[in-house]
Amino acid sequence: MSSRPEDIRHAYLLGERIYLRGATPDDAEICAPWFNDEEVNRYLLTGRRPNTVEQSRKYLRRAMISEREVVFAIVERESGRHIGNTSLHQIDPIFRSAVFGLVIGVRECWRRGYGTEATRLVTDYAFSRLNLHRVGLEVAADNPNARRVYERAGYRVEGTRREAFYVNGRYLDSVLMSILRPEWEAARGERVENDEKVEKGEKAEKQGEEKG
């Protein structure tokens, strides 16, 4: 697969600093090494065995035709780099629910807010386009960075599964988090209101400078 920067016209969900497009089997050459990186896969179930390009290709091929799963490639707008994947699993049209997944595979892109932006984009997609009611996830109790990402996107803690994760020789609790459609819509309304206040403040400041 070409390593040239991607064309933003491939975007399906557009964010401020990233965009999401449908992941394809051709992405396997980029994705596969992430799941062999100990730091990247520390809390991922996929990190228990070696991963190959062909395994990633098979997974993405299955996801493309699945009615219960959708996988997006996360692309950095400035560089055009494919930096991670995000997904919805176990999509249930009866209960209108799904399970959220996220991996930022390029380490230098950690702690830049890309995870929060991707989480918000996919959560909005789940409610606005798939007409779901609930999106849930699990995160290891000693992974506070990931938990903050989800909390900033509006997810709430709803419970704990005791010693459900096995990481580096230790059993860790799993924190269950979720967000419901009414909660997401309320949080989105608050963000829009805050953005409008900031915009008005900036305009008033600019007008004051022009008069001065």
- Number of domains observed in the structure of the chain: 1
Q: What is the predicted pLDDT for the residue at 1?
A: 44
Query: Both ends of the chain: CA-CA distance in Å?
Result: 56
Both tokens assigned to 106: 């390029």
**pLDDT at residue 168, as a whole number:** 84
Note whether residue 1 is domain-resident: no
Please report whether residue 2 resides in a domain. Answer: no
Tell me, what's the pLDDT at 2?
Answer: 45
pTM over 0.75: yes
C-alpha distances out from residue 74 to 26, 107, 115, 124, 134, Å? 14, 14, 9, 15, 22
Measured between alpha carbons, how far is residue 6 from residues 75, 78, 109, 192, 209 in Å?
8, 10, 17, 30, 40
DSSP-derived secondary structure letter, 11: -
Would 209 be classed as within a structural domain? no
Q: Which pLDDT belongs to residue 204? A: 54
Asked if 151 and 171 count as a contact pair (C-beta separation under 8 A), the reply is no
Per-residue b or e along 89-125, where b marks 16 or more CB atoms closer than 10 Å to that residue's CB: eebeeeebbbbbbbbbbbeebeeeebbbbbbbbbbeb
Q: Residue 8 corresponds to which amino acid?
A: I
pLDDT at 153: 95
pLDDT value of residue 194: 60
Specify the amino acid at residue 88. Answer: L
Going from the first residue of the chain to its last (212 residues), give the mean pLDDT of each consecutive group of 10, the final group possibly shorter: 70 96 96 93 78 96 96 96 97 98 96 96 98 97 94 96 90 96 88 57 58 57
Domain membership of residue 212 (yes or no) is: no
Return the CA Rg of the chain. Answer: 19
**Is residue 210 a part of any domain in this protein?**
no
Which domain covers residue 145, as residue numbers?
Answer: 8-204
- 3 domain-assigned: no
- Does 123 reside within a domain? yes
Nearby residues of 184 by Cβ (< 8 Å), 6 or more positions away: 123, 124, 127, 154
DSSP labels for 177-205? EEEEHHHHHHHHHHHHHHHHHHHHHHHHH
Give the CATH number for residue 170: 3.40.630.30
